[in-house]
Amino acid sequence: MLRKDEKPPEETTPAAKTAQLEPDIVSEERNMVLSYRNTVNEAYDHALFVYKGNPPKPIVEYKKKLDQDFEDLLGRVEDMKSLEDYEHIDERALELLNNRAFLYPDKELGAEAQAKYEEVLSWGVSAEQSASIKRALDLIRDRKTSDARKRAYLLKVYEDYDALDDYVDWINPRLYKTGIFLLATTILGLAGSILLMTVFGQLIPAIIVAGASGAALSILTKLPPQPTKYGDWHKFLLKGLSRFGTGLLASLVGYGLFAANIVNLNIGLGSDAKSLSDVLKNAADGQAGALNTMIVVSIGIVFGFTERLISRIGSTFVPEKEPSAKKSE
């Protein structure tokens, strides 16, 4: 489950955090804080409209507090000198923005939470990722929930929404680039294996490259639509490298078994039938015609693709252990 405090891996060093900021960054941060304050003002203006210019005293008092907090934050922006200052101000500004949950009219808290929930679903996130927002929405709609608790749940909706927004912005470019890389590997591997066979007469390199093409295709077809948390993405990368290596090894081992006639596969029917071992020998002797080339390349891709089957067999004999639940203190 995605936690609101979960962040992408930090890539900045302590020296970088204390480095001087460019004037443009200070200006952008000021504009961002002002934009957040405008959003808070819009929420309060809506409350003024609903309550006909006389909102409840808690809303009025809380708005005064938010105004003062934003003024203090703008002062900190002008004194901002390092990346660490920038990060603290960024987090504080988002916190103040989310506190608009305490300004909306009581009867519209559910509608606001529903709008955020529907927007999250439009990003294509999984049910697991949006579950906490759905639970908060249900509690806001529950008539037994007090107004104060409903506002706290709406704040939770905002916080989880921001965490998912950051995660989607982080993961989507990585999924896209990985998919492009795997597709390019599949296509280039296919073309490269054919060239190695027909132009250079290199059988073994052609088998390896064809296996790489099949393994990349197998991983591409199982590319997750969107991992549920940052750690899952790194697990996928490690597992993908393992599967890719398995596909290369499967190609070499499979062709080795056919070349040694330990396993036999006849291609064709009747008098035109020939064994895959003969096809490999002809290809190794430089007799790589169009038919032999397509046979070797196609079967090499199939071998590379069978890494999925090998992985399943391995997981059957050595199942992955589920992490043990932590004992409550």
Q: Which of the two residues, 274 and 288, has the higher pLDDT score?
A: 274
**pLDDT-above-90 percentage for the chain:** 57
Half-sphere exposure of 172 (CA within 13 A, CB side): 9
Q: Give mean pLDDT, residues 207-230.
A: 87
Query: What is the number of H-type helices and E-type strands within the chain?
Result: 12, 2
CB 306 within 8 A of CB 213: no
The pLDDT value given to residue 316: 45
Average pLDDT over residues 82-98: 94
Answer with the residue of higher pLDDT: 278 or 38: 38
- CB-CB contact of 206 with 193 (8 Å): yes
Distance separating alpha carbons of residues 103 and 101, to the nearest angstrom = 6
* Amino acid (1-letter code) at residue 58: P
Q: Which tokens hold the place of 287? A: 């007799």
Is residue 315 very low, low, confident or very high in pLDDT (cuts 50, 70, 90)? Answer: low
